[in-house]
Structure 1
Amino acid sequence: MRHRCIPLALFLLSLLPPQMLPAANKETVPAQWSVRGAVQYALNHNPDAKAAVERIKAADADIKAAKASFYPQLGVSAEYSRTNNPMYSFGNILNQGVFTDTIDFNNPGTTDNLQTKATLQYRLYNGGHDLAALDAADERGRAAGNEQAAIRSRLEFEVVRAFCTIVQATETVRARQSALEAIDASVAVARARFSEGSLLKEDLLNLEVQQSRTQEQLIQARHGLNLAQRGFLHLLGLTGESVQLNMAASPDQEIPVERDIRTRPELTGMAAMIKAGEAMVRQARAGFYPTADAIGSYQVDKGTELEGGSGNSWATGVRLNYTLFNGQQTSAATERAEAQLRVAKEQQRKMELAFNLEMEQAALTLNQEEERLKVTGKMVESATESARLARLRFKEGVLLSSELINTENRLTDARLSHALATSSRKIAIADLRRAVGLAQFNQEK
């Protein structure tokens, strides 16, 4: 009974509109993003990461193609022909085994032939050409794997930086909002004092101008937050306008102690490309050596013009080929492969110099941001207390509006500098980890 219900259920599901059907194999987008979750999602959905996977598949296909040279080549063919050419007709007569003494050699007549043939060929030696091609394909496959690792490393860093940028933009909005609330309160006090006659109209206007300027800065901060959120979604391979972050899951990365660029996947990939270049040099030089093949065939001939015409034959042997002169084509191919190998070695040296500089710059930037974070923290404490005292003095009428505006501006600037230093330090740690070839987060044990 249950087996009869299954087709009925499938039929009823087919009647439902597509939007009501359950989604299959679709990864759920979280309501709030943690930095670790965002990194993993980007690695699975970013177009660059997916393209790197496809390049690895293409490299694997190249390896399979190179391995094909080590297997024998087997082929079959079939051909039907009809002719009155004396040479071809006489050949058909012999192949079909119907030769008689009465045949006129000059005019054997019209014959036809259905020929089926199986051939087998195996390359015994070609100067190491096929082995070198396989070595080159293997090394290019390793290079493709390291290219993927390099893309993943860069993508991890970009996601962490985008996450920190959103956090920084959010803090900027909060600082601007706090500044606006403070200036609103000061404007309310100023209007009350102006009504009492204890404040000049000019001072009130100055505060109102500052209020409008603060509102403009808040609008710009919100725009910056929107841009940061959209850039973050772009890295994840998504579209949208807003992002909810889990601030408690902000990046908490370890500062690398051992700093060695030799773990960079780009350098490992370049080393593989150099080995591939060396194999390509051997492949080009194989043109100076002879080739040897073992060959074999089995052939069946059948005709209809001559009664009982049919026959079969086989052949085996070894074939040796050696090119005496090809216009220096092999020499040119060897020189080209050697030149490309030298280019790859120079590129490797250039990458080592560039990555050393990246590591040094990242380390210096981290030191700077750590010192800057300490200074800005003290700035916020001092500016907060100064602003509190200034508001009290302004309320009591012993402080000018211009002095109050300057104090509020210093507090806002201090908060923005501290938020920027906090975010920049986390980005600097992420950049240093990338520069030394480490993943953004240590594997959880």
Structure 2
Amino acid sequence: MQPLIHRSAPPFLLAWLMILPAVAGGQDLRPPPEVPTVWTAEQAVDFALAHSPDSRIVLERLRAAEAQARMADAADLPSVTLSSEYSQTDNPMYSFGNILNQGAFDNSIDFNDPGRTDNLQLKAGIHYRLYSGGKDTANRRTAAARVEGAATDRTSLDRLLAFEVVRAFHTVIQAEEMTAVRETALEAITASLAVAQARFEAGTLLQQDLLTIELQQATASENLIAGRHAEELARRRFLNLLGLPQGEVRLDGATGIRQELPPTASAAGRHELEGLKAAIRAAESAVAAARAEKRPSLDSFASYQIDHGTVLDDGGDSWMAGLRLNYILYDGDRTNAAITLAESRLREARARLAKAELDLDLEVQQAELDYNQAGQRLQVTEKMVAAAEETARLSRERFKEGVILAIDLIDVETRLSDALARRSSAKALHRVARANLRRAMGLPQFAESQDIEKEISQ
């Protein structure tokens, strides 16, 4: 049911009433993202970083860590409270207390039965910790280190997401090329079948050879169906990484796919290392906080209170201020156990960093070897395709002339399709290997994606 809105209502009220049902229903009022008609690799990475649920999840983790840091910083500030309470009682102790607080005592009051009283109390208080044994400072450092760790973890996950998008991008291109290869193979074998049919009718080709070519045509048709299915799956996965439930996928495979590499491969830029170093700083601060439990804490407090009663129609005010010293003499060895636990976690964090440095160095070396191997394979497959295409051209001409058998032609066509498929696979692997090497070195896939990372953090 639509709300009844008077036409003379102010414009801002009309706008609010129009969006109120959507707000109440929890709908997202943000405009839908603008989706490019044709995707480049850079556009896909930028879109995923800005709109993918994975990117939003790690962003919220960072915001949660920042909120915890603000909570830790609050320990340096005083806490101010304001309370109000109204009560009635005939309990002798509480009723007599109300009389004293309201300044209404006289000698006619019976201590055992002071009667019914009421009290309206207003109280303001302030509390400030003067010394915590270093615990609050350690907690702030722990929270700050966790914010740094969350920020580096977010960057690492964004870099991984960007790589997955680039890989999915090239997988779609490869699937499209493989579909084109299978379509070409089907067209070639269909043309050869027409020649075979003419030769069979002319009596220059055996029926067995004709059936062999028909079987090859059926196989090529089946391969084309499987290729189109794989292409559609690659498109769906690409959209999923971008955070889009559906849509048309048209890719520009010739623009912006060149990703430069530094002259020297190194894992020094990996944000995982910075995240582990931040975890070590957090663990060190946690040890300091655990040790601070052995020291005393000193608090200051002050309050001002106003009491007023309607039964006695009188009132009074009072104040209180002081210092409070807290020191734990014995806690069942809980503090010592907490210190041991914190120190153990610190040693574990340092060991994780040492292990990660070795693992990431190995990962970079493997990525560099994969990239070099992919480049070599691409060069070889280019030569394979050139030779296979020329061989197929000559074999088709010879088959028309009746020089070679159908089985020989099928063998040549199969080798051509295999060479084209190998080249397409090698091309995609080479580009993915280059993107993987950038990821292993801790680099963004494109310079623009680094700017997007900064924008969505704000």
* TM-score, with structure 1 as normaliser: 0.91
Amino acid at match of 1:437: G
Could you tell me which residue of structure 2 aligns to residue 195 of structure 1? Answer: 201
The answer as to whether partners of 1:115 and 1:300 remain within 8 angstroms in 2 is yes
Structure 2 residue 439 is the aligned partner of structure 1 residue 430: no
Structure 2 residue 298 is the aligned partner of structure 1 residue 292: yes
1:302 to 299, 308, 314: 308
- Cα separation, 1, equivalents of 2:380 and 2:263: 24
- SS, match of residue 339 in structure 1: helix
Amino acid at match of 2:97: G
**Displacement of 1:58:** 1.1
Q: Aligned ranges for residues 234-273 of structure 1 at < 5 Å?
A: 234-240=240-246, 242-249=248-255, 251-273=257-279
Amino acid at match of 1:157: F
The answer as to whether partners of 1:394 and 1:404 remain within 8 angstroms in 2 is yes
Q: Aligned ranges for residues 38-437 of structure 1 at < 5 Å?
A: 38-105=44-111, 107-240=113-246, 242-249=248-255, 251-306=257-312, 309-437=314-442
- SS, match of residue 263 in structure 1: coil
The answer as to whether partners of 2:42 and 2:448 remain within 8 angstroms in 1 is no
**Displacement of 1:187:** 1.1
- Cα separation, 2, equivalents of 1:432 and 1:284: 42
- SS, match of residue 320 in structure 1: strand
The answer as to whether partners of 1:295 and 1:316 remain within 8 angstroms in 2 is yes
The answer as to whether partners of 1:256 and 1:432 remain within 8 angstroms in 2 is no
Q: 1:166 to 1:82 in 2, by over 3 A?
A: closer
Deviations 1:136-163 (A, max 9, x none): 1111111111111111101110111011
Q: 1:417 to 1:312 in 2, by over 3 A?
A: same
**Root-mean-square deviation over aligned CA pairs:** 2.5
The answer as to whether partners of 1:46 and 1:237 remain within 8 angstroms in 2 is yes
**Displacement of 1:207:** 1.1
The answer as to whether partners of 2:265 and 2:368 remain within 8 angstroms in 1 is no
**Displacement of 1:222:** 1.1
The answer as to whether partners of 1:86 and 1:105 remain within 8 angstroms in 2 is yes
Deviations 1:184-204 (A, max 9, x none): 111111111111111111111
- SS, match of residue 374 in structure 1: helix
Using the aligned pairs only, state the percent identity.
Answer: 48
How many residues were matched structurally?
Answer: 432
**Displacement of 1:119:** 1.3
- Cα separation, 2, equivalents of 1:92 and 1:382: 105
**Displacement of 1:432:** 0.3
The answer as to whether partners of 1:75 and 1:119 remain within 8 angstroms in 2 is yes
**Displacement of 1:427:** 0.3
* TM-score, with structure 2 as normaliser: 0.88
Q: 1:126 to 1:405 in 2, by over 3 A?
A: same
- SS, match of residue 254 in structure 2: helix
Q: 1:170 to 1:154 in 2, by over 3 A?
A: same
Q: 1:302 to 1:240 in 2, by over 3 A?
A: closer
Deviations 1:168-212 (A, max 9, x none): 111111111111111111111111111111111111111111111
Structure 1 gap ranges (5+): none
- SS, match of residue 249 in structure 1: coil
Structure 2 gap ranges (5+): 1-7, 23-28, 452-458
Q: Structure 1 residues 346-355 or 291-300, which shifts more?
A: 346-355
